[in-house]
Amino acid sequence: MKKIIALLLVLLMVLSFAGCGKKNVKLKIINEELGAEQYGIAFRSGDEETCNYIEAAVKELVKNGEYKKIADKYPDVVNSLIFLNEDAKDADGAVDITKAEKRTFIQGIDPEYPPFSYIGDDGKYAGFDVEICKAACDLLGWEHKIFEVNWDQKLIQLDAKECDCIWAGMTILDTMKEAGYVISSPYYDNTQVVVVKDDSDIKTSKDLKGKVVAVQLGTSGEALLNGDLKDLKDSFKELVTCDSFLKCFTELEGGAVDAVFVDYPVAKSYIAGK
């Protein structure tokens, strides 16, 4: 029995040291932007009314200063917010928010996408998009609820009415518009970047030739690598798709991949929190 206990203690110590080593892995963002894009909110086909009410409420948040107040909590986000420019501050909503009928509004999010949507240390949903949506619902008199989507299946879940929108750092894609989804005005300017270990010999995207790269499944990054940046993808040894960006970074830290292709604010937020 003593031998078994001793072996278990040794195993726990090994796992503890392994976990600590993983946390100490330093990462960096390659100074190269790989595709400009914008974030927006997706609603079901024909649901212009809900989109108009949400946009009008957000514009009111911009006017009354609450939008900036929330944005200031997220330094990785605030500098690229479109609604904080002078034209947006003066814009009026398309509808009168006081005429909105009472309802429950379900926001579809990726719960592992800081700083836009995630679960905080207190176990509650947090993030810039979550706070803005909650504040908009408060103005409209709507009950705000959260639904965790599978990001690769997000539009299917939206169509199935499991949620009323997809609002969590979602890139506006032409394919969504062509499919008939109602898309809000863009609210954030984003770009894709490459993240590597701090001691990596990868300096630019050209150095990814022959390397193993990870990307989150169903993201604009994956779409970009299969579209405009297909030549870059074809130079990789392998493109690994993960169901969350956290798994992408875990693979990088563990040495299973050489780089991660991800949204800039997400990369910056993750590295800052290590």
Query: At 151, which CATH number?
Result: 3.40.190
| Nearest to 192, CA basis, from 238, 157, 227, 155 | 227
pLDDT at position 44 is: 98
Distance CA 53, CA 59 (A): 10
Q: How many domains does the chain have?
A: 2
pLDDT at position 14 is: 35
Residues 52 and 143 both lie in one domain = yes
- What does pTM read for this prediction? 0.81
Query: At 226, which CATH number?
Result: 3.40.190.10
For the chain, percent of residues with pLDDT exceeding 70:
88
Tens of pLDDT, residues 157-213: 999 999 999 999 999 999 999 999 999 999 999 999 999 999 999 999 999 999 999
pLDDT at position 67 is: 96
Q: Average pLDDT for residues 230-252, to the nearest whole number?
A: 95
Distance CA 173, CA 223 (A): 9
81 occurs within a structural domain: yes
Residues 152 and 205 both lie in one domain = no
Residues 62 and 196 both lie in one domain = no
Nearest 5°: CA angle at 113, between 215 and 243? 40
Residue 24 burial (C-beta neighbours within 10 Å; 0-12, 13-18, 19+):
exposed
pLDDT at position 19 is: 39
Tens of pLDDT, residues 23-53: 578 999 999 989 889 999 999 999 999 999 9
pLDDT at position 13 is: 35
* Mean pLDDT (the chain, rounded): 88
Confidence of residue 93 (pLDDT cuts 50, 70, 90): low
Tens of pLDDT, residues 131-146: 999 999 999 999 999 9
pLDDT at 156 over 60: yes
Query: Which domain does 213 fall in, by range?
Result: 25-35+190-272
| Nearest to 238, CA basis, from 211, 260, 220, 256 | 211
pLDDT at 267 over 50: yes
